[in-house]
Amino acid sequence: MASPAKLNEDQLLVERKSFARVLTLNRPKQLNALSYYMVSKLLEIFHDDEENSDVKLVIVKGNGRAFCAGGDVAAVVHEATEGDWRFGAKFFETEYKLNYLMATYSKPQVSILNGIVMGGGAGASMHGRFCVVTENTVFAMPETALGLFPDVGAAYFLSRLAGFFGEYVGLTGARLDGAEMLACGLATHFVPSSKLSLLEESLCKVENSDPAVVSAIIDKYSEQVSLKEGSVYHRMDLINKCFSRKTVEEILSCLETEATSKADSWISTTLETLKKSSPTSLKVFLRLIREVRLVGVGECLVREYRIVCHILQGHHSKDFFEGCRAILIDKDRKPKWEPSKLELVSDGDVDSYFSKLDDAEGWKDLELPNRFKNLPAHAISKL
């Protein structure tokens, strides 16, 4: 029987192929959910490889039918319900530092998203220079249904999408396919899964870290892909009209008004999804995505860390624990949110999630390193 240490090592396969570091998330039965070991090891490898002149680029991929379905929140919830909320805080602190390093990395990261990519999986890929999607890709940020919120810097990259598509994706947890990710800007390339092995082989031969060279190689295997007739991206006018509203209540009201004037199953499904989500999560995320539109990725992650620590403490609401019970543990899919209605979540309640945790002994804001030296233009733009 393998030792615990060996089992941990098997969760992340680390290879050097010529000039490339190839990292494979390897928990296929758990859809490659990120454990604390995995985020810690990834942070260590990315840090070391930035100083290693023999490594010109980093390839990140997943084993099985998922790239990564998110962070292993079940472990975080277990520890928090046992009274140790700081284990979760340490997990998120490490994960957010990894997200920041990826976002400001001096070498190209190529994320190959051939399957499910959700939550923490988006954080481990979207911040990199290149995101390659396929016909198998399914993207979502479903955290509001869990009583959490789209984190891992999602408010940063979603707020940069056209119009108010980011609000729609983050609030509803809507699923996007590869073509939709390419159209909205979450992906840089679409490559058929049958060509991925050839793509990886070519990338490993790159002898420098020039993003233009890497992009040209991916271009050779890329294809133009059309949106499906029923794609949500064809509804941008309606999304912008409703999801540009100032409050969650006004967004719902706009959708309900639209529903009265036209028979549209997408509107009714969107309304149903929003009404099933945690009222607190919806309001916190809408505030967050609006606030970080004009700030850097680091400032976004600092705010997210404050929010997630408040959630883990459970002083204001225990929706995260209730959501995990209903969706992941008991699987009755009937969470009992508290507060149960949007109107019961005041602006002051939302404000509290953005404040420092002054009552938590030894707690500190997320501390991120100075990343201004020798960075390419695309990384500097995120600071």
Token code pair at residue 312: 């883990």
Q: Please, what's the b/e burial string for 203-232 (b: 16 or more CB within 10 A of its CB; e: otherwise)? A: bbebeebebeebbebbeebbeebeeeeeeb
Distance CA 378, CA 183 (A): 20
Among 69, 60, 5, 6, CA closest to 32 = 69
Amino acid, res. 255: L
Which residue of the set 70, 71, 119, 296 is catalytic?
Answer: 71
Phi, psi for 34 (deg, rounded to 5): -75, 120
Which residue of the set 62, 120, 121, 173 is catalytic?
Answer: 120
Report the Cα–Cα distance between both ends of the chain, in Å, rounded. 46
Burial of 103 by CB count in 10 Å (0-12 exposed, 13-18 middle, 19+ buried)?
Answer: buried
Distance CA 196, CA 170 (A): 29
Which residue of the set 151, 167, 180, 319 is catalytic?
Answer: 151
Which residue of the set 72, 93, 95, 143 is catalytic?
Answer: 143
Question: Is 120 a known active-site residue?
Answer: yes
Distance CA 251, CA 201 (A): 47
Q: For residues 254 and 245, is the Cβ–Cβ distance under 8 A?
A: yes
- Longest CA–CA span in the chain (Å) reads 63
Question: Do you find a cis peptide bond into 4, omega within 30 degrees of 0?
Answer: no
Among 348, 349, 346, 140, CA closest to 249 = 346
Residues recognised as catalytic: 71, 120, 143, 151
